[in-house]
Amino acid sequence: MSNLKLFTLSLMFSPALAYAQFAPDWLVAEGIHSVQWHVLGDPQSLTVVPLGETGSLRLAFDDFYQSTTPFNYTWQHCNRDWQPSGLNHSEAIEGFMESQLPDGILSFNTYQPYSHMSTILPHSDCMPRVSGNYYLIIFGESQMDTLLKLPAVFVNQKTQLSGGIHRTSLMGLRQSHQEIDMIVDMRDISVLNPFKDVALSIIQNRNWRSTKQLAPRFLRNGVMDFDHDDGSNCFPGGNHFRYIDNKNLPVPSLRVSRYELNERWVAFVDEEIARGILYPTHQQDGQGVFVPRKQGSDDEGIEADYLWMDLFLKDNEGKGHRQLHVLGDFNAYQPHLDNQLLYDEIEQAYRGRIMVKQGYLEYLIADESRSSTDESSQWSADKTQWSEGNHWETNNRYTVIVYLRSWGARHDEAMGMMTLDSRNAMGLKALELRVGNP
């Protein structure tokens, strides 16, 4: 289980600076599936929570090896770049260095057997002591046997943030991107070198790979302005997410025309189309959300089954040169062989079967052969321009985090956070879709 698959009255100016690719790792061992890692009660949230609160995060996952032995966990403190900080465990963690998760529970009446683990974190006997970035590391008998490595940010709110989302004025990005401008009030905090010691991270939806990190553009009387004019604070708008809802197997539903039962259920999804050249439509979505569900179940955690999602995307280019992956919250936007669509020369289409847990699932199709042309992020418009398209009107949620390296400190602190929703910011008329815990 150790094999890992591999998101004063003065005016001072700074060049628009973007720190390249400050996205965290998201590592999941073979045999671990359907990882849910979000704020308790809100699967549409990123794992950014106040420091010092117990039980603020929910963790759940399935183990196809059906282990019911409790796994161990610890926290690893990191700097703003998600590299380990200079703090040792006793400085970063309150309580014990390690603790245990609850026992796994075996699935019931499913074609795919698994054990299910669900808990809320952090616990008071092992929790972050200082603010900042952390990895939650789940392991077996030793930390050499790592099962999961998941990011979270614990914030000690000491700053005031304000900001907004709008259509950028940059002509090359005006139709496809959204610009996020932020103001951070740090007048009550001593900062020696604001252009080096302060950074702002922005993450789109729950896609950690989209993370951008910026230095302030200028400073006036302790108030820092992150309104850059070079596109470094712009994000591709994307499109509304594709979705399937299979909570009521084997009854057909919207976008699933039929089911077949082999070793497990197969859901035949209606033919996909490349949406890059289509006009945008305003459709409500959960911004990539994944929630396991089973109609009439008392406990979806152990009663929801696994199925193959059969996908067919016609190649309107006739080239077959793209490396397409099906991504969303259900796999943390991490491309792997098990979520790839392969080219069928006879059909002249991209095809694949993606294994997912029964429930409501949203996804997009991304071309991972297109390396990011945006040096500030692992995610760029090129990845989805053909398959999904990018539109400035699309509904997106942004999480903003402020980091500070105090004078003489050996680590970065998370000093403030804020969430922004483009639907509210730009007056978009699509309805909000809220998907609660099962």
CA gap 281, 304 in Å, rounded: 32
pLDDT of residue 375: 64
- Phi then psi for residue 40, to 5 deg, are -55, 125
Closest-CA residue to 137 (of 90, 63, 74):
74
Q: Is 303 helix (H, G, I), strand (E, B) or coil?
A: helix
- 195, amino acid identity: F
- Phi then psi for residue 423, to 5 deg, are -60, -40
pLDDT of residue 370: 76
CA gap 94, 128 in Å, rounded: 6
Q: Is 382 helix (H, G, I), strand (E, B) or coil?
A: helix
pLDDT of residue 38: 98
**Per-position DSSP letters for 70-130, written without gaps between them:** PPEEEEEEE-TTSSB-S--HHHHEEE-S-EEPPPPEE--S-SS--EEEEEEE-BTTEEE-S
CA gap 185, 200 in Å, rounded: 12
Q: Is 302 helix (H, G, I), strand (E, B) or coil?
A: helix
Q: Is 281 helix (H, G, I), strand (E, B) or coil?
A: coil
Residues whose CB is less than 8 angstroms from the CB of residue 324 and which lie 6 or more positions away in sequence, other chains included: 313, 340, 341, 350, 365, 366, 367, 368, 387
- Burial class from Cβ neighbours inside 10 Å (0-12, 13-18, 19+) for residue 388 reads buried
Here the tokens at position 374 are: 């945006």
pTM, 2 dp = 0.91
pLDDT of residue 422: 87
Distances (CA, A) of 329 to 43, 104, 182, 303, 420: 9, 22, 26, 21, 19
Domains of the chain (ranges; CATH) run 11-155 (2.60.40), 160-238+372-425 (2.60.40.10), 242-360 (no CATH)
Here the tokens at position 282 are: 């305003």
pLDDT of residue 82: 97
- CA angle in degrees (0–180, nearest 5) for 93-95-97: 60
In the numeric block, the tokens 């009439």 are attached to: 296
Q: Is 147 helix (H, G, I), strand (E, B) or coil?
A: strand
CA gap 214, 212 in Å, rounded: 7
pLDDT of residue 423: 78
Q: Is the dihedral of CA 233, 368, 48, 74 positive or negative?
A: negative
CB 117 within 8 A of CB 101: yes
Segments in the chain below pLDDT 50: 1-20, 427-435, 437-438
pLDDT of residue 99: 98
Q: Is 31 helix (H, G, I), strand (E, B) or coil?
A: coil
Helix then strand then coil, % of the chain, to nearest 5: 5, 40, 50
Paired strand residues for 402: 200, 416
pLDDT of residue 431: 33
**Per-position DSSP letters for 305-368, written without gaps between them:** -EEEEEEEEE-SSS-----EEEESGGGTT---GGGEEEEETTTTEEEEEEEEESEEEEEEEEET
The 10 Å CB-count burial string (b at 16+, else e) for 171-183 is eebeebbbbbbbe
- Burial class from Cβ neighbours inside 10 Å (0-12, 13-18, 19+) for residue 204 reads buried
pLDDT of residue 242: 97
CB 81 within 8 A of CB 211: no
Q: What are 30-80's pLDDT values in tens digits?
A: 999 999 999 999 999 999 999 999 999 999 999 999 999 999 999 999 999
